[in-house]
Amino acid sequence: MTMRRDPNTLDLFTDWKPDEVVQRFEPERVRTATLRARIARAVSETLKDCGRPREEIAAEMSAWLEDDEVTKNMLDAYASEARDRHNITYERLLALVHVTGDVRPLQMGAEMFAHVVTHERYLQWIEVGMEADRKEEAIRAAEERERRFDLVLRTARRGVRP
C-alpha cells in the first residue's frame, strides 16, 4: 500500500533550507574590473533585489541619516558603473544596508580582508568554536612539552652512570 504525502507537511530533505550564516553576492553578479565598479554593482544588486522603488529607498535613507538628503538620482549614480565620479559614501552605504536589510555590500568589503559579516545570534557559536580551537592548541602544546620532558629524562638517564 502506498502512503500519500501530506501536502501540509514539509519534506525535511527537500523543503527545509538552513539560514545562511554569511550572506554574500553570487560572484558572477559583482565581478568587475575595478573596485569602484564592483561597489556600484553591489549597490545596483542590492537595490534590484530589494524590490522597492528607489524613490522610497532614498527617502528612508534620508530619514535614517536625518540631515543628509539622498535622492533617487543619487542612488542611480551610485549604482552605475559608468558614473565613476559618483561613489557612495560609507555612511550612505550603511543607510542603504539599514533600509534594505541587505548586508551583502558589507560582506563584500569584509571578504577583501578575510573576514565575514554574520548575524550576532551566531556569535556565541563562533566563540564556542574559537574556544575549541584554543583547547586543541593547549592540548597539542602540553603533549609537545611532555614529549620534550620524556626526551630530556631519557637522555639524562643514559648519561648517568650506575
Extract the C-alpha cell encoding 114.
Answer: 578575510
pLDDT digit string (tens) for the chain, length 162 residues:
566 777 776 666 666 677 787 888 888 888 888 999 999 999 999 999 999 999 999 999 999 999 889 999 999 999 999 888 889 999 999 999 999 999 999 999 999 999 999 989 899 999 999 999 999 999 999 999 999 999 888 888 887 544
Parse the chain into domains and list their residue ranges.
Answer: 27-117, 119-162
The answer to whether the beta carbons of residues 60 and 68 sit under 8 Å apart is no
**Prediction pTM value:** 0.73
CA 109 centroid distance within chain:
9
How many C-beta neighbours within 10 Å does residue 109 have?
A: 17
State the Cα–Cα distance between residues 140 and 138, nearest whole angstrom: 5
Phi, psi of 130 (to 5 degrees): -65, -40
State the Cα–Cα distance between residues 45 and 35, nearest whole angstrom: 15
Ramachandran region, residue 26 (left: φ > 0; alpha: ψ -120 to 50; beta: rest): beta
149 in helix, strand or coil? helix
**pLDDT at residue 162 in the model:** 46
